[in-house]
Amino acid sequence: METLMAILTIFTQPQLLLLVGIGTFAGIYIGAIPGLSVTMAVSILISFTFSWDVLPAISLMVGIYMGGVYGGSRTAILLNIPGAPSAIATAMDGYPMAKKGEAGQAIGVTTVMSFFGGLIGILVLALAAPFVSEFALTFQPRDYMLLAVLGILLVGSLSSGSLVKGIFAGAFGIAIGAVGRDPLTFAERFTFDLRLMEGGISFIAVMIGMFGVSEALQQLQNVNMKAVRQKIDKIVPSFGTIKKFLPLSLQTSSIGVIIGALPGTGGDIAALMAYDHAKRVTKNPEVPFGEGAMEGLVAPETANNAAVGGAFIPMMTLGIPGDAVTAIMIGALFIHGLNPGPMLMIDQPDMFWFIVGALMTANVFMLIFGLTGIKIFTKIVEMPRSIIIPLILLLSIVGAYAVNNSITDVYWMLGFGVFGYFMRHYGYPLGPVILGVILSRLLDDNWRRAIISEREDLGRFFEGIFTSPLSLVLFISVILIFVSQTPLWTSMKKRLFRKATS
């Protein structure tokens, strides 16, 4: 009963309900406008909402997250430009449908399926998280350490590009997180004897720089791109259409939740894997994949929204983010004096159930806003980049400044923005940097706790790993990710495949 009350908190305070609504609405547009990403929006928002109470701040962010994951599909369908990475797969069949004049239908199906996927993700979160957190209480410091490493590696390896670059990015993030005075021994780390480095680097400045400034600088090269106008008619899909895709959407939603729940992987990977899955299980699609198959819309859209609920599972139970956005949300919870992890679930279960309620509400808002207001939508998306880019930069500066009222943070943000700009150009993923910064403390603390409890003996440390099934599984996963990148593995795989084909 108390749980139910906590879930319904959001309805008892109209202000919170309104914020979730505004957040979802804004999220849809932020997700849809190329050049604005949800990660960027949430990281800028942290700095603006940090003087608020925690509930309104979280309401707004949850709304933006939910709406943004969905919003990316709109432009993917209409313009073949995925507004968010999680919508890359949606463009593959969505845009061909739009070209045939079926844009309205495509958007309708996408909306309903996103709602459905989101719902499943939230249900799994509500059911699984309490168990996971109970299980998490048995975790040893070394398990946390291994989980943190695994999370950073997973983003690096699954997201895109080369794993080596991903590992570099993750290690770089951990190093940034270590800057300043060590909280345990008070030793200076990477301060170069400068006083302003002693307090460390504000992770918000790093985040806004990497996702706001570097993005905006990159968009400068696309300033003169014109948006193409589309005509849209009826969008609410028939019940028959939805019923037809129900079995597939259940499967792809499950994929979404699982991928989302893996530390470090989010909606973009979930969507691509679900698309791949749909391609394999759909034997006779009415329209071939890549030419406007409905299945090709249903799969990624259910999966990426289901991944939202999934991503909250490790975040709420272990304090380890499921993806970049939840990494930033952990930062937001820190700022509000909360410490995500198993103890949060036990000490303040209300907080968890409140988030579940907020997600649920955001999901409903997404359905409502998704099926209406399409006319205004096309207008807003056509906003020229020559206005959007300066505005993003302005918001980034205000955001970086506002947290500590310090110009230094603005320069940090600018520095990381320029650095991130080069990283983008040369194929270094940015997600692992943020994850590294967020997980740096957790990794450091738990490593030291683990090794001190083993009396500084590496042998006993490894003995501990090999005698605990959980640590062993985590350790082997970490090793496997490394091995999968070595030349030895590639040649082995080649040999195996040759055997299979011959």
Partner 1 sequence: MDPDFRGDSDHHDGTSDATPGGYPKQRRPGELGFAIFLTVASLYLLYDAYGISGFTALSGAGSIPMATTFVMAVTALIVGLRTARLNKVAGETIANDILPVMVILFIGFLIVFGLLLKPLGFVLTAALFLTVSIKVLAHKGWGYTLAVSLGSLVVIWIIFRVVFTVLLPAGILPEAEFIQFFRNLFSGGAS
Question: DSSP string covering 129-181, please?
Answer: HHHHHHHHTT--HHHHHHHHHHHHHHHHHHSSS-HHHHHHHHHHHHHHHH-EE
Helix (H, G, I), strand (E, B), or coil: what is residue 64?
A: helix
CB-wise, 119 or 328, nearer to partner 1?
328
The structure tokens 């996103």 sit at 114
CB-wise, 24 or 133, nearer to partner 1?
24
CB 347 → partner 1: shortest distance, Å? 28
CB-wise, 16 or 213, nearer to partner 1?
213
Burial (0-12, 13-18, 19+ Cβ within 10 Å), 113: buried
Whole-number Å distance between alpha carbons of 180 and 168: 21
Calculate ∠ Cα 456-457-460, nearest 5°: 130
CB-wise, 182 or 463, nearer to partner 1?
182
CB 26 → partner 1: shortest distance, Å? 11
CB-wise, 112 or 152, nearer to partner 1?
152
CB 329 → partner 1: shortest distance, Å? 16
Backbone φ and ψ for 181, nearest 5 degrees, come out as -80, 135
**Counts for the chain of helices (H) and strands (E), in that order:** 25, 2
CB 281 → partner 1: shortest distance, Å? 17
CB-wise, 261 or 299, nearer to partner 1?
299
CB 483 → partner 1: shortest distance, Å? 15
CB 359 → partner 1: shortest distance, Å? 22
The residue count of the chain comes to 502
CB 242 → partner 1: shortest distance, Å? 26
With a CB cutoff of 8 Å and minimum separation 6, the contacts of 395 are 44, 212
Whole-number Å distance between alpha carbons of 447 and 163: 23
CB-wise, 296 or 357, nearer to partner 1?
296
Residue of 425, 472, 332, 434 whose CA lies nearest to 48: 332
CB 262 → partner 1: shortest distance, Å? 17
Helix (H, G, I), strand (E, B), or coil: what is residue 198?
A: coil
CB-wise, 178 or 232, nearer to partner 1?
178
CB-wise, 105 or 396, nearer to partner 1?
396
Buried b (16+ CB within 10 A) or exposed e, 228-267: eebebeebebeeeebeebeebbebbbbbbbbbbbbbbbbb
Helix (H, G, I), strand (E, B), or coil: what is residue 451?
A: helix
- Helical ranges in 199-294 per DSSP H: 203-208, 214-219, 239-244, 246-261, 267-281
Distance of CA 57 to the CA centre of its chain: 18
CB 463 → partner 1: shortest distance, Å? 15
